[in-house]
Amino acid sequence: MSATDTTAPSPQLFFETINAFHKTAALKAAVDLNLFAAIGDAPATAAEVAARCQCPERGIRILADNLTILGFLTKDGAGYALTPSSATFLLPQSPAYMGGAVKFLLAPGLTEAFDDLAETIRRGRLHTTEQGTTAPDHPAWVEFARAMGPMMVPTSQGAAELVPLDASRDTRVLDISSSHGAYGIAFAKKNPRAHLVALDWEAVLAVTKENAAAAGIADRFSTITGDAFTVDLGKDYDVVLVPNFLHHFNVEECTRFLKRVHAALRPGGRVVIVEFVPNEDRITPPPAAGFSLVMLGTTPEGDAYTFAEYQQMLAKTGFSDPTLHLLPPTMQSAVVAVA
């Protein structure tokens, strides 16, 4: 240990990391058992929660204590209560409920990709499938569309604030890989004269259509079915939204795709790219920088790209004036550029 190193060696990080799946299992169990709803608005004892969940008390007590350690609950004496974040994101009746995302995030097709990450790295390609989640009509994206929409509402509303549309005329917005449709719907709701065009696979678009109808914009909504790299995108759009799409592909493919986006926009139109954008050091901020590992495990050549890399891609494809905007409360950012 050097004279300037005052940190004593500790195995704590090793054990916390190697056993991190315990935390995942605890949270999944709580969602599966509807434990957060069983506690609800008022503190409850383990016995009360166990009765509501129709489970023996011992397991509920141990689970609730661990959720308290993790920060999902608070405990005062024998009573457990929800934290503000748990009440917002883990109560099923909350509009921001995220519990449904468990099905997508822990789907075997995703978790199995990390069973032998060393083999993926060793071979330079995915060890489970050839195309991973980029395969045409991958079934995971239907579950993603159904489960992840509520998580995207704050981010999508923030993105819609970045590009005001001309209220004096009809405008057109294309939502690439629209999925749940949250980004395009946010633009359409903010701009009453905007027509939204959603592009995705047919099975996914069924979910997008449901969400568009529920949002009251069905009369200003249409779809394009197929592969975003090959299908006719149309033209004269005022905005093209590219949310959480480019990270699935390498720089060359992203650049090729952005050329198609530029051709689809009217002069002066905007592209809005929503992504996890790490700093140039690629290790900060941790949630954005760490997303590259997800792409390593689930895509052939995807990555989390820096703003400088997006600037280079956009410059090569005819865009100008790229700007970077954080989209709190998430760690995602929007890159906006002019056609």
What average pLDDT does this structure show over 165-192?
95
pLDDT at 150: 77
pLDDT at 330: 85
pLDDT at 280: 97
pLDDT at 110: 83
Q: Do domains 12-94 and 108-338 have the same CATH topology?
A: no
pLDDT at 6: 64
The Cα 312–Cα 322 span in angstroms is 10
- Asked whether the CA dihedral 114, 116, 120, 126 is positive or negative, the reply is negative
The Cα 104–Cα 34 span in angstroms is 17
Reported as a single tens digit per residue, the pLDDT across 26-38 is: 999 999 999 999 9
Q: Could you tell me the pTM of the whole model?
A: 0.88
| Amino acid, res. 312 | Q
> What DSSP character marks residue 112?
G
Answer for the pair 322, 335: CB distance below 8 angstroms, yes or no: yes
Answer for the pair 275, 247: CB distance below 8 angstroms, yes or no: yes
What average pLDDT does this structure show over 191-216?
95
pLDDT at 113: 85
Give me the chain's average pLDDT, please. 93
What average pLDDT does this structure show over 29-58?
97
Q: Among the listed ranges 18-32, 82-96, 145-159, 322-336, which one has the minimum average pLDDT value?
A: 145-159
Structure tokens given for 112: 């199995």
Domain boundaries, the chain: 12-94, 108-338
pLDDT at 1: 45
DSSP string, 242-287: EES-GGGS-HHHHHHHHHHHHHHEEEEEEEEEEE----TTSSSSHH
Percent of the chain clearing pLDDT 90 (strictly above) = 81
Answer for the pair 249, 303: CB distance below 8 angstroms, yes or no: no
User: Which class in CATH covers the domain with range 12-94?
Assistant: mainly alpha
pLDDT at 23: 97
DSSP string, 197-250: EEEE-HHHHHHHHHHHHHTT-GGGEEEEES-TTTS---S-EEEEEEES-GGGS-
Query: What order do you get walking across the sheet with 333-338 strand by strand?
Result: 221-225, 194-200, 171-175, 237-243, 265-275, 333-338, 320-326
CATH 3.10.180.10 correct for 108-338: no
Q: C-alpha dihedral over 98, 180, 146, 231, to 10 degrees?
A: -140
> What DSSP character marks residue 9?
P
The Cα 243–Cα 245 span in angstroms is 6
pLDDT at 29: 98
Binning pLDDT at 50, 70 and 90, where does residue 145 land?
A: confident
pLDDT at 96: 83
pLDDT at 137: 66
What average pLDDT does this structure show over 210-239?
96
Reported as a single tens digit per residue, the pLDDT across 281-324 is: 999 999 999 999 999 998 999 999 999 999 999 999 999 999 99
Structure tokens given for 285: 């901020």
Statement: residue 5 has pLDDT above 80: no
